[in-house]
């Protein structure tokens, strides 16, 4: 039903617009014009003023022609580096680069899939509920755009993100939320050979605290890690200061909170026991989510995959996506695999079959949401 030549041409156009993360201004202008031409009312937030990014998140709304839950489709407009001067070509059923840059199928394949589906929808005069398209900046910088977005502009009841590896048919039904912790331990310096008993080793405090923590794979939903540990000035000085970077992740927010508490409490208790002081700077990054097959958004996603003659494959992700943020704002959202391969490398490529099928999937989701 979709126009394969048209979606391919648009995808090739999009990947040739430079949009490395933090430098999204040029593509944002193109995307605004394209959304407006598709009949969307387009607005943006002020995320550029809050971050180091050159453009804002885009929020585009299309009024429904039929009853059904208001739905959201989302992709990000930025790419990783090296993403300037992309020269795409078609080889053996794939869109590839000349080997000097990434391709940017992550996530411009998703954008092209959404746009072609909407064009087809309008041309065929197909019924649809209200549709919101949200295109974010800074996803590759750590979900910067979505984490700082103006959530008051979100209008959907459920969301579908086109930004995951795996062929069309894969559905990320659970994604881990994350906290980051920077811990500063202050001990007391002393000469390590003359009077070590007068010192309080910050390294000892931190080491004993870490030994009390559950780390690594905690359970099927939760992980925790010490990522960086530094401090000390010389062989012969009892170390009076160390800094530790750590994180906790979980698909279940209650488990995430509990893990963070265990980690910060261990640092605080051992510091108190050994006469040191401790500061924990705890930073919430994004929420976790985990859906069972009875959840409406997952039911719609499964039905849509079957509608395009693919077998649904349900997966979990330990990493974060914009979908985590939408879920944190109360919009149940799942992430679709759209088929790109070897992303974040110069070998990145996009199978034409998956590009076309991803756009068919967007149409199928819309059809499943019409009541």
Tokens of 44: 């943006």
Compute the distance between CA of residue 246 and CA of residue 103 in angstroms, rounded to an integer: 33
Binding residues for Zn(2+): 106, 140, 163
The enclosing H or E element of 123 equals: helix 105-123
Question: Residue written as tokens 């180091």?
Answer: 52
* DSSP classification of residue 347: T
Which among 185, 150, 124 is positioned nearest to 43, based on CA atoms? 150
Note if 157 is an active site residue. Answer: no
Check: CB of residue 11 under 8 Å from CB of residue 115.
Answer: no
Binding residues: 106, 140, 163
Check: CB of residue 289 under 8 Å from CB of residue 252.
Answer: no
One of 10, 20, 116, 139 is an active-site residue; which one? 139
Which among 280, 192, 226 is positioned nearest to 200, based on CA atoms? 192
Check: CB of residue 45 under 8 Å from CB of residue 59.
Answer: yes
Q: What angle do CA 305, 287, 21 make, to 5 degrees?
A: 80
Residue positions annotated with a catalytic role? 139
């Amino acid at each position: 039903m979709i126009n394969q030549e048209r979606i391919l041409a648009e995808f090739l156009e999009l990947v040739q617009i430079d949009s490395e993360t933090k430098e999204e201004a040029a593509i944002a202008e193109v995307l605004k014009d394209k959304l407006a031409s598709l009949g969307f009312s387009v607005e943006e937030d002020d995320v550029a003023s809050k971050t180091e990014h050159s453009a804002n998140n885009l929020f585009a709304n299309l009024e429904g022609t039929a009853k059904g839950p208001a739905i959201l489709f989302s992709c990000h407009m930025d790419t990783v580096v090296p993403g300037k001067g992309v020269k795409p070509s078609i080889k053996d059923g794939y869109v590839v680069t000349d080997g000097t840059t990434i391709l940017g199928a992550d996530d411009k394949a998703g954008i092209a899939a959404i746009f072609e589906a909407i064009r087809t929808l309008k041309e065929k005069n197909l019924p649809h509920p209200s549709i919101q398209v949200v295109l974010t900046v800074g996803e590759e910088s750590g979900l910067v755009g979505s984490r700082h977005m103006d959530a008051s502009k979100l209008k959907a009841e459920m969301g579908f993100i086109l930004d995951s590896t795996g062929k069309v048919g894969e559905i990320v039904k659970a994604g881990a939320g994350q906290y980051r912790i920077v811990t500063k331990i202050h001990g007391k310096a002393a000469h390590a050979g003359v009077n070590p008993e007068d010192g309080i080793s910050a390294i000892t405090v931190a080491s004993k605290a870490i030994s009390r923590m559950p780390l690594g794979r905690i359970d099927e939903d939760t992980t925790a890690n010490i990522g960086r540990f530094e401090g000390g000035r010389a062989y012969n000085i009892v170390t009076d200061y160390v800094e530790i970077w750590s994180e906790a992740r979980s698909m279940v927010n209650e488990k995430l909170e509990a893990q963070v508490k265990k980690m910060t409490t261990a640092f605080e208790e051992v510091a108190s026991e050994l006469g040191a002081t401790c500061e924990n700077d705890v930073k919430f990054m994004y929420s976790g989510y985990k859906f069972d097959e009875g959840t409406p958004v997952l039911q719609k996603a499964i039905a849509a995959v079957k509608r395009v003659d693919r077998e649904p494959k349900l997966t979990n992700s330990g990493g974060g996506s914009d979908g985590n943020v939408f879920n944190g704002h109360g919009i149940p959202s799942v992430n679709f695999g759209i088929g790109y391969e070897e992303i974040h490398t110069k070998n990145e490529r996009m199978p034409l079959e998956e590009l076309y099928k991803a756009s068919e999937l967007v149409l199928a989701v819309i059809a499943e949401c019409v009541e």
